[in-house]
Chains A and B, each alone.
Chain A
């Protein structure tokens, strides 16, 4: 046989074998795609895949002072794929014992390790690819589980399936909760969560999920996953300290007067930034007031006497009157058309100045003047024109859905009554505005005529990157002339000085405002339901904040705006004046009035103490550069020296005179166990200064 022939023969053998292989391959394909087709396609149907949305982390909502108002806290559902391919028998057997011990110790706490092991083994045998470990696990629990035996071998060998969910939390609970709002799936979202949803929401991701059983889906560890994009954060103008002040003050008043509900809105005069917005509704089951509905934004109601400011300003603006002009109030009783108008009570005066009529909130006085000047000829239109100049017919445009629309009748309105509408409008009836709209109007007066748009959100951020900033916006640059504004302010200050707000006058600072007592459902005979309100601003000379307080249907202890809502306003103003550093500047009385004695024997951390001394402009002689110091009287009269307070690391220090924070810091750093008794500064200590240190306990007496 020639070489060539042998080679060819062998080549043909190879060729023949390859042909056989090819036939086998085609045959196998035919077997699967034709003969066994239905078996496999049925299997295919049972392992359906679907892209499932992965919800992104919703953005946070922050307060003006950087505190977290709403955030999404992640939690996890943990399962195990006990049939994952890389989890071989060898691996499973090697780790199942220790895994069972861990699971029974940390997760299935009521179950013995042996029992857990039996369940694991049985589930693996049954081909369970979705063995429940824990639902709603926290992040810490997840990290813990990830370190368990077997599971820590990684995503594939370990078989851990982590599904992430999130829950919305409000760290401040009920504070401003209605303003912050709710993000709901099955109902209309409310508040800022609703308005800024587009920013907060982020972008939904996609994950491929496979159905492995009845209604059970597991993520397919594949490339087909689109990561969700985190939502953006919004920073609000709300100041949690002020919100807290307002809520506390309002809640006390609501309980005291057993009112249906109440609200407070506080606004920064210069910018229109809302610093606090409280809405409290009485519960059906006694006592508990909660944020349930945003009355401040949504409820357009008859404002009552607080509207008299608008009437007065219209009169002043049109040059019809001055505040010194007199008006005959006829003991607080007058007839317009067929109806009798009465003041809140019988008055002994007949003729008073307009200013006085405003201060005592005489319905008759204001109605009469308005009717006298605007009731003649076509003048009614002029009155309405002024109200429109004040912007009282417009919504404020606050960033919350459902702002109530103000209603001010035109003269051609079918219900316009030639005799009665105007006088009643003059003192705040036959028209509707929301509390926020009233506040925005008063704020404009405080802001020298410039009407600012009330707004809740200042910034939208992603991490530290600013996405969008909202600047203060003017609604109207000048609602009235300078002299009208000045007189309006004088009127409002007069209310607190001599009028219905006299009871809440403060000796430390001045504020201005107007009370309102609106009769509700006056068309129902024999019903006495009122809405007490007070709206104003403080400090009067250089207004920083404006504020409206409204208490609806107080049933105990009076119902007048001045006596129900006024004290709430004062409480709020007092606390703001007392705690807001920027407001203290207005209150800078001479030093001697504040300090009765020099701060002798103050012990503390030098940088802190010196900062305080410098801040209050106290002169002192510094005789040490140590960290811990004490202030002592100087040799000459009235002087102050700062001397070293010696702290030896091996001896019990003298902490008498220190604040508790400093004392604990020093003592615990030395390894002492501190126990305390009483409150205040350290008055005495159980271990004498200078004794040797050896892990003792020390008891501090405070006082």
Chain B
């Protein structure tokens, strides 16, 4: 009895921070492994001569490495991220420009950059996302006293947002929109004047229009044709096009409880079922139950991060955790919304669940930073409780 207690204590000592968030991560990873194993079946036959374990093991290893990153990031004192923020942002902007100009073209878009020497490629937008959120959290926190001001608060906050989102948009409009909405929400919570936020929404729409205009002038840089056809399809086709039709069939096949692990047939029809349509596959194999669980897990994550906001003594911590959480949850909800035909089709992964390489690592880093915030908040709470008890 004593031993188990001390073991539990050890475990708790090792994994600091909000245990509930750790649990969300673990459950998402478990779902991920189950869904990946079944949906990579055809990929395995094509690429690996039927070795279906190949992708499972590879994905498992990536998740393991990602969780190591989470662990390391959550050990860092979160204020350190604040110090790093400007540097990270400048590097990210540089990398984004490089990607747009020199990145290899995959499926008509330049999104990837190779790290020289080790042959690992990553999406520069993944890095830029985290860097921008940290930077915005920092700006909002530092300018709390005069946050309603236009020149000294609003402008310095919004300029980097526009630059980064503008650089991501040509190749990956959906990611750019999600990031923009994330930053907007952060500013809203961070008490920026509603007047300016409204202006910003109008401005965002104008920016989008400008991009589309530019796309007609420089079609090789901006994928306007893809966007307009997707939107057309969403507006005009009641079924939503082939992919959505297949996704809906997958969800319908699942019913309440699903057809069972590995029994999916729609993975043959859906393009990259292990990434852009993993929610549909989870619904098919684990039913409405599985799908709802996924949605609730993300919602629960939001609750836990909001809890940090109420407790955080420093605005930076609160803004940082809510910002990172929003970027993950908004992407997740967007992914699900695509599958159930609420928004036009675009290739978005389900964070922590879809198969992927470096993007999983970046997701894990986000979780690590959120946990770092929660860890220090708990420490402060413990200290104050101790002080209370002592007095």
Contacts and interface: CB of A to CB of B under 8 A. Distances in A.
Interface stretch (A33-41, A391-399, A641-649): A33-41
Contacts of B42: 208, 222-224
Contacts of A90: 225
A293 B245 CA distance: 57
A22 B298 contact: yes
Contact of A88 (B188, B225, B255, B292): B225
B299 A85 contact: no
Interface in A217-233: 220, 222-226
B142 interface: no
A570 B354 CA distance: 80
A3 B144 contact: yes
B22 interface: no
A19 B306 CA distance: 12
A73 interface: no
B252 interface: yes
B226 to A, nearest CB: 9
A380 interface: no
B252 A220 contact: no
Contacts of A33: 251-252, 254-256, 283, 287-288, 291
Contacts of A208: 42, 268
A88 B241 CA distance: 12
Given A44-B266, A47-B269, A8 B310 contact: yes
Interface in B197-251: 225, 229, 232-233, 241-242, 245-246, 248-249, 251
Interface in A15-47: 15, 18-19, 21-22, 24-26, 28-34, 36-37, 39-41, 43-44, 47
A47 B255 CA distance: 19
A11 B269 CA distance: 41
Contacts of A223: 42-43, 46-47
Given A33-B287, A85-B241, A41 B329 contact: no
A210 interface: yes
Contacts of A31: 340
Nearest to B252: A40
B309 interface: yes
B7 interface: no
Contacts of B333: 18, 21-22, 25
Contacts of B342: 24-25, 28
Contacts of A325: none
Interface residues of A, number: 46
A37 B255 contact: yes
Contact of B188 (A10, A19, A85, A210): A10
A44 B253 contact: yes
Given A25-B340, A29-B288, A30-B288, A226 B252 contact: no
A206 B45 CA distance: 10
A682 B347 CA distance: 75
A216 interface: no
In order of increasing CB-CB distance, the 4 nearest A-B pairs are: A40-B252, A28-B340, A224-B42, A44-B249
Interface of B: 42-43, 45-47, 144, 185, 188-191, 225, 229, 232-233, 241-242, 245-246, 248-249, 251-256, 265-266, 268-269, 271, 283, 287-288, 291-292, 295-296, 298-299, 302-303, 306, 309-310, 315, 318, 322, 326, 329, 333, 336-337, 340-342
Contact of A224 (B45, B265, B288, B341): B45
Contacts of B336: 25, 29
Nearest to B242: A85
Contact of A225 (B46, B232, B299, B341): B46
A32 B241 contact: no
Contacts of A24: 342
8 contacts: A3-B144, A13-B188, A14-B189, A29-B340, A32-B251, A33-B288, A85-B233, A224-B45
A373 to B, nearest CB: 69
Contact of A222 (B233, B271, B322): B271
The CB with the most chain B CB atoms within 10 A, among A6, A11, A37, is that of A11
Of the listed residues A29, A47, A90, the one surrounded by the most CB atoms of chain B closer than 10 A to its CB is: A29
Given A25-B333, A25-B336, A222-B268, A37 B295 contact: no
Contacts of B190: 7
Nearest to B306: A15
Given A18-B302, A26-B295, A43-B245, A10 B191 contact: yes
A224 B245 contact: no
B46 A220 contact: no
Contacts, number: 136
A124 to B, nearest CB: 14
Given A41-B253, A85-B241, A210 B229 contact: no
A24 B299 CA distance: 12
A422 B254 CA distance: 84
Nearest to B329: A18
A3 B46 contact: no
Nearest to B298: A22
Contacts of A687: none
A49 interface: yes
A224 B269 contact: no
B47 A3 contact: no
A41 B249 contact: yes
Given A11-B322, A15-B302, A222-B42, A40 B288 contact: no
B163 to A, nearest CB: 24
B292 A7 contact: no
Contacts of B292: 26, 29
Contacts of B189: 7, 10-11, 14
A25 B295 contact: yes
Contacts of B306: 11-12, 15
Contact of B252 (A6, A10, A12, A37): A37
B236 to A, nearest CB: 10
B381 to A, nearest CB: 16
Contacts of A43: 245, 249
Nearest to A6: B191
A44 B306 CA distance: 41
Contacts of A40: 248-249, 251-253
B43 A49 contact: no
A7 B318 contact: yes
Contacts of B283: 29, 33
A370 to B, nearest CB: 66
Contact of B315 (A7, A41, A85): A7
Contacts of B287: 33
Which one of B185, B266, B329 has the highest number of Cβ atoms from chain A below 10 Å of its Cβ? B185
A224 B269 CA distance: 10
Given A33-B291, A44-B265, 11 more contacts: A6-B191, A7-B309, A7-B318, A8-B310, A25-B337, A29-B288, A33-B288, A47-B269, A49-B265, A85-B229, A223-B42
A672 B248 CA distance: 72
Nearest to A221: B271
Nearest to B315: A7
A49 to B, nearest CB: 5
B357 to A, nearest CB: 17
A665 B43 CA distance: 57
Contacts of B269: 47, 49, 210, 220
A19 B233 CA distance: 28
A44 B299 contact: no
Contact of B303 (A15, A21, A44): A15
Nearest to B226: A86
A39 B251 CA distance: 12
B253 A29 contact: no
Interface string A222-255: 1111100000000000000000000000000000
Nearest to A208: B268
A19 B265 CA distance: 32
A3 B245 contact: no
Nearest to A39: B252
A44 B255 CA distance: 13
A224 B46 contact: yes
A224 B252 CA distance: 23
A14 B255 contact: no
